[in-house]
Structure 1
Amino acid sequence: MPAETTQAPVTAFMLVKTTPEWLAMTVEERVRAFTTEVVPVVEAGTTGVRSRFYDTEFYSARVTDVWVWEAEDHRAYQFLVDALRETPFWDRYFEVVDLLVGTENGYARTYGVEAVTSIST
Structure 2
Amino acid sequence: MTTTYTIFVLLKALPAWLRLPRDERSRIVDRAFSKALAEHAMAFRYFDAEAFSARASDVALFETTDLRAYYFAMEHLRDSPIFAEPYFEIVDIIPAIEDGYQAFEAAVA
- Is the CA contact (8 Å cut-off) linking 1:51 and 1:67 kept in structure 2? yes
Higher share in helix: 2
- C-alpha separation in 2, matches of 1:83 and 1:69: 14
CA drift at 1:105:
1.0
The structure having more radius of gyration, on CA atoms, is 1
- C-alpha separation in 1, matches of 2:89 and 2:73: 16
CA displacement 1:56-99 (0-9 Å, x = unmatched) = 11111121011111112222222222221121212511110000
- C-alpha separation in 1, matches of 2:67 and 2:28: 28
Among candidates 78, 81, 99, match of residue 105 of structure 1: 99
Q: Say whether residues 1:90 and 2:69 are aligned partners.
A: no
Q: Unpaired runs of 5+ in structure 1? A: 1-5, 114-121
Among candidates 38, 41, 50, match of residue 57 of structure 1: 50
CA displacement 1:8-51 (0-9 Å, x = unmatched) = 11101110000111101011110111123x0243035412x121
Counterpart of 2:74?
81
**Aligned counterparts, 1:29-68, within 5 A:** 29-36=24-31, 38-47=32-41, 49-68=42-61
Counterpart of 1:12?
7
- Is the CA contact (8 Å cut-off) linking 2:28 and 2:82 kept in structure 1? no
- C-alpha separation in 1, matches of 2:47 and 2:33: 17
Identity of aligned residues (%): 34
Q: Unpaired runs of 5+ in structure 2? A: none
- Alignment length (residue pairs): 106
CA drift at 1:110:
1.5
Query: What TM-score comes out, normalization by structure 2 length?
Result: 0.86
Query: What TM-score comes out, normalization by structure 1 length?
Result: 0.78
